[in-house]
Structure 1
């Protein structure tokens, strides 16, 4: 069979050669000499000028650039100065300084002893011949090399006569191309007595012996290894001498053959072929002395033939497939390591490992989703390496169980590895990686790889899966799509080109836009300059080593290097005087690439004369002299000012003494005026309280007896009189309440309760309340509640009803025809958070209207639009004033729109918090006869007024209540304690002789602490809010104002006793339990009164505040010490604090101190503890607020 490889006589290896000619920018094709300078430039001497190549472009220098002649025959660089010397054909010489610039003709005698001969330079044919024999470049016959240069990056440059410039890169590679074939190229090594032999075959042809020396040729020797009968060989593996030597062959047909030596016939290995074969092509072979021969197949799993032992029968073949535990039946690589372990790589399933003595494989899933392993290798340190298809490289150090991973671009040039080969010494720490697009060399100790071949080198591309061979300490072989690739390990560069720093040179500089030599800027003028530099990395390697990276720093401005970038220029704006040195470095983009030595350019910017040292010294002397003059002048001025200041201080001191005396007199007058005003306020408050009590006491009898008389079946005439009496009494009570409300609002003592109530029901109730009044005047009354109004809100329903009743009552009063409309709806445009609502209330009438000039006066106390209104319609003039003040307390504003003869609209908007409907209690009080209690109640009534006793007795007896009367508090306590049958409830008047209601309640609570067992309901003619607070504090369940409504009293008794009513009438819905008083609002000072007293003197205000803050805390601490043992001291302390807080507009605190003073003057100081606690709490809140202005 004819060999498919080229015969040994004609086989020519190929090298990586690249020609440079006109297409690459080199127009001069005759090259006579070559030189690489210290910056890395390649210089070419031609007959048409001197050419410089920087790795990317050619630049030609001629006589126009200073050369003495265009014909260049020799080149030299001075090693000491870096000057470039050029010899010409006719004997002239040219030179250029190291810093660059123009060439010039050399002077006679310049240049030392370097005097090349004239005429064309001699050709070093011996050197050129040795080089071509060493590398067998295979240049075309018409190419005649004339000069040779080996650069610092491992390239060889050949100048030719007429064929331009040639570069020989990656000189350690040689490729023996093969003809197109059907079967892959197979490599294998055969150990012999003379050393390992390398063999190659393809397409079932003969086996060819590979040379073992760098200059050797590919030959087919005799005896040769004939083709294997079982089809094209796929795998070769050396067979140990103990088994006969030679090697095993795995074939595409699925059989394994053994060949003992070249020329010997191939023998089929028993159990591994014949008949139907193994069922699939053989893809991998491995042998371990401790186990035997392992055969991997393309689709039939793994076969294992154990090594036979002496004296025992031949072992059988074991077959591993997915049925017996393998993860995949396809095998891409097998490896037997030094410890006898078998490693198996399969597509998509990871890595498997078999150890002697274990029945099954152990699996390693090295990557999520599977692993496409393609090749396996073990290095000199016993590390296992796994190459993959697209997933990088995995490795496991000897003795360590953890697998590590290397990937591009950080550690590998490519994630695709088709073959691995450990290299012999002295490269034992290196691992050859074969990629589809090139080769790389891995440092196994540092676990980093660098490209070994240029990206543009076609020889290193197209690597095939399979083993690579290192047959000699100087050679390595691997299979590619183009043929057999040989690596001369002795020619490998000491440092990969990808790591070696390229050359670097300045290409120009500019100062304020003008070009200058980059390394000769010298000294610049004394002003700020904008300086820029351009530089260029120089690489003669194939492909230029990729895009180069630069960094720089300007010493004198900053010592830190700039961040690496691709920019090949540096600009500095606004440089001031100083000395500077620009340093630039370049490197290749590969990881771990070294930076080049710094390229420097020094320059300075002169300092202006006004910034020089002598100018500064002269200026300092002048400044010191001027300073001395200024000091003397200043001392004289200060002496004059001192005399004037002493005189002024004496005058001002006398003036201040007079002013202080005047202020003290004014303060004394203000204190007298304050005490007088306080006495007047107390007198007014006491008068109103007394008047309320004195008026309500007889009115209680009048209203109560009127109600009793209505139940005696009076005649129609008597019924009419009783109605008049009741109406007049209620009108009088309304007037009294209005006066008291107005007084409380003026004093700031009216507070709002916060309790859930049904707002729609409250508004709808106005229609029922005023239905008869409207009907009697022939007026239409409508009440409209918008559906969007919440069913329950949190607020003071009593005060809201008071406002609406006043407005509706006024509207009906001043309307002769037409009607009145009451409406409530959400306010338009109001935006509050969830849980709140703003509601708009409006009362519209068609009454007489209000003149425009009277719209503001109608809200004043005791005022109406005109005097005729009072005569015709009546009224006190307090209703609208009270309504306005109540709306303001709610946080709203009462407004009116009116037109005379048309009508009026009163409206206001109030914010409410939404309440839960479940918290509402029924508040309807039954009308008509109130039903009796069943069973009856026993009630103790403590009342000192005979008429009030009569009213209470008759009212209660109508409800089936057994009444026991007590004329004062002492008798009430005695009767309650002496009763054999406990009372169901106690009605306790507050003001009684001997023992008032508060003291009596306190004594009863000591005996009957359970308020549910003995309810106590207080009765008082006073309507002050502190009365309710005190009543609840001493233990009362609730308190009612006289005159009380029978229905209200009935409901309270029913609620607190839990007693049901009889069938005589419909049982009233119980009123809710009395609400605990809302805690007093913590005081906030009002500065109006104090500022008026101070007359705008802020210092006076601050003095008053500081005095209070110094004295009040000490007085406050004495309050609990004086109570209850020293009531006289307690009264004095309360009086002092009350007088001091009067300045700060805190009426609530002032009222409680007044009440504490009055309580201290009573026997036993009732409810003193509660008042002291409340006063101290409010003072603690007031102190920091006052301190803000101190």
Structure 2
């Protein structure tokens, strides 16, 4: 409580409170003593009056003289504090009485003594009168000395005593209050001598706080307070001097800052102008590179197309090798151009991502399948592990995600001399609508130092420039991957140890898509038992998971002899083994020995699936000689593996009507392109497949041809001088609308169809698009799709080549 009081309140409290307690204690004590003394005196007076009345009334009591007794009682009543007087006969009958009725109770006790009884307002006395007490009025007769003559009863009032006590108490209180008032006056005067100077000190400190450093305190009247005031004055002087010096420094610094700001403002203006010029130059460069897709890819399309046509002709082995070298060089050049164009698209902000459903497992496994030949050429093991809790049906841009994975896996192949490359897909977090995924590519290559990791995602750089010529590449792959992942809302990173390998990882959040139901197979694989042989641990684990996902029960063996013994032991038992899946290489077993083991397994009614590296496919093809054995390349895709195993269990009859039936007439196709080489290529491909082709150069010629002749389909190049493909399409659509004609299918031939360009093409009135370089299979499919007229199927080997050409540009 004292902390809430000021100095004045504390002084008053510490002076008045002890004085009040002391005065109250002493006043109460002395008042009580005085009241006790008055009460004692009253009782003594009552006893004396009673004892004095006994001799006076003894003779009258003896004679029963009531008149005399009444006169004595009346005289006695005139004394102070006497309230009532009674004289009683020996039988206690009243002989004489003066005053009001007695209110105190009658005393009880020995009759020979003075008895008293004290009530609230009075005290009552009772005294016996004997014959011996007549000595005041007549001689004592010895025979009557002990004779009881009567009683004297007296009542003394307390009112007078109480009144005197109240007067004494009032006087005491008056003295106490007078003393307290005097004490309070002294305390107030004393507090002023302290509170006044403290108020001056407080006001001075407040002024100093507000910045009035010229404030000074006068002498305050006491040595201690004067020392405090002197200290505050010295502090104020010191602060005033410091502020003056600081103000001088601030003025000087302000002047310097003003001059620097003027200089910086001039520099900022110059830098802003230079920045704008640099941004404009970068934008022009990026737009120039982004628009170079058609001009660069168009001649490459001609080179690749005519190379494929030449490969179908009769060539010497040396000429065929020359064409293979040309094709490979053109593919590599196309891949490098794609990297530069993608980078320029990202820099120019023109890259738009698709959002379509895709299967994550198929995407990852297909990517490894495409890159398997390069890995197997270096005797590397490629493994894909998709954890079972990972959602497979997702939505996003599968083309760009495949591009990123291709870049990471191809880099791992480039910088790994021996060992294993593992691609993993796992679930980090999941909600009802989204899945947080982590996709990693781990290798056992040369590894990266911390300095290499910091420079890894910079444009036109590689981890080890000394090795850049050996693996090749532009150094843009990881930069493009990082930009793509960031545009998808994810992140990319690397964990690496020099000499032990690297692990590149992607963390990406994608929306879930509706699960695609697998195509029902004629013969279900559920319940069948499969023997598995794979010497590589991770590859064996991945193969087990794939077979179990297909519904098979797996039994793992560590070598081929044990597998053959296990199948033999289970033969003709309820637990017979139906399939044997063998992962082999030429270093582990020769084709001749494998062929003998396959015969042994087939004799036990066990069908065989052989998995081998792509580089040894032709070598092991000799060991697969009938429908009871299939040969697949490593690493196997789950979907293809399931289909192959189903066909192995129940071979389908060979059908001659797999392809669409040939129409009675050939489709008429209008080809439009300003480049004569590309126009001749498309015309030749279509004519070789049986189409009737009309080729024109330019948009104006295309519009005239449509208005004069009837066509089933138009293949329209997009970028052409004069009237480009979009303008020609709009003109054709307007001409059709004027004549209420049905829309003629128009398919765009574009060199590099980004997502935003695809939408622009479709919005201009085109029905579909084909991305250069164009394959025979693509042409046949698009003609069948939009005309319903089938072309002759291209040769199988050309289909495979077309597929390789289609996926080749994705490789970074």
**What TM-score does the superposition give when structure 1 sets the normalisation length?**
0.35
Give the structure with the larger strand fraction: 1
Structure (1 or 2) with the greater helix fraction = 2
Which structure: larger Rg?
Answer: 2
- Give the TM-score taking structure 2 as reference length: 0.49
With CA pairs under 8 Å and 6+ residues apart, which has the higher RCO, 1 or 2?
Answer: 2
